[in-house]
Structure 1
Amino acid sequence: MEVGYSVPMTEPDLGWALGTLLRAYRESLPPTMGEFPHGVRGYQTLCEVVSRQQPSQLALANRLGIDPTVMTYLIDDLVAADLVERRPNPADRRQRQIIATAGGREAIATLCGQVTAAEAVVLAALDEKERLDFRRLLLKAACGHADNSTDGCEAGHPDA
């Protein structure tokens, strides 16, 4: 007796498609990142700092799914590069907030354009409307599985 249903294997599965796109994305971004501290991970961390202020370094680590110990070293390197600084959290002085410096905001502005161009190459098989729909649906699915925070998932947010 068969339980459930089976998917006919006439098309590659979701895992294959996501893996293929992720590999293409990873391959297209490192040249864009140049000497940026921690490459893509450092870029994504700085993007998060610039776009949505987290209350602490731990909250930032949780939001990005980065081990807190690794996040400490990553933030140390972003501080050394004068891209971010640590400040006492006015709501809880035991915590340190991570704040983008002017140099950090400038670096993100430059890199965002380069990352957008790299993403266009990865999604070149889609027309502009399809790219927007794909990003919207992918972010909606991701927000449905965000285990630590749904910040950025609310309707109308530019990243949602």
Structure 2
Amino acid sequence: MLGRRYAAIVDPVFENFPRGARGYQLLHTVVHKRIPTQNALADYLGIDRTVMPYFVDDLQSAGYVQRQDDPSDRRVRTVIATPEGIAQYQMLSQQVLRAEQAFFDGFADEDRAVFVQSLSDLARRSRSYTPPEGR
């Protein structure tokens, strides 16, 4: 229920962005992290490796990312944000912040920050979770 309410408030920010919220998530990641390969980026984001090229193609067509050849291994192409992509990311992140403020209406800024940080920590831990043997 909470996720649906959040999506109803925040998702309209991405209605004209390539691949919507998932495209924004990809752009956010390449702005903030240097993940060496497209496959590693797909794994990091939990996007199927066969679908990832379409995400990158759409963001590249919009001018937000580019594939950069690795000088030490010509088979490797790292996805990086373009200056236009960084500017678009900054604009969208401000719109997301305003939408999140509406979502958290009535919460103190400190409470919102703690909640968002806790969710972020939980998401980060879930990436590396391995279930115990025998389950």
Percent identity, aligned pairs only, is 40
Equivalence map 1:46-61=2 (5 Å)? 46-61=27-42
| Structure 1 residue 89: Cα displacement | 1.9
Equivalence map 1:1-160=2 (5 Å)? 20-147=1-128
* Deviation per residue, 1:65-113 (Å, 9 max, x gap): 0001111101011111111111112343211100111110110010000
TM-score (norm 1): 0.75
TM-score (norm 2): 0.88
Q: Relative to structure 1, is the Cα distance of residues 30 and 136 closer, same or farther in structure 2, using a 3 angstrom cutoff? A: closer
Equivalence for 1:6: none
Identify, as 1 or 2, the structure richer in helix: 2
Could you list the runs of 5+ residues in structure 2 that have no partner in the other structure? 130-135
Give the counterpart letter for 2:117 in structure 1.
Answer: R
Give the counterpart letter for 2:112 in structure 1.
Answer: R
Give the counterpart letter for 1:112 in structure 2.
Answer: S
1:56 and 1:89 in contact (8 A); partners too: no
RMSD (CA atoms) = 1.5
55-64 vs 123-132, greater mean Cα deviation: 123-132
Q: Secondary structure at the match of 1:87?
A: strand
Distance 1:122 1:142 in 2: 20
> Which structure's relative contact order is higher, taking Cα pairs within 8 Å and 6+ residues apart?
2
Distance 1:71 1:102 in 2: 21
Could you list the runs of 5+ residues in structure 1 that have no partner in the other structure? 1-19, 149-160
Give the counterpart letter for 1:32 in structure 2.
Answer: V
* Deviation per residue, 1:41-62 (Å, 9 max, x gap): 1011000010111101111111
Distance 2:72 2:96 in 1: 34
Q: Secondary structure at the match of 1:37?
A: coil
26-35 vs 41-50, greater mean Cα deviation: 26-35
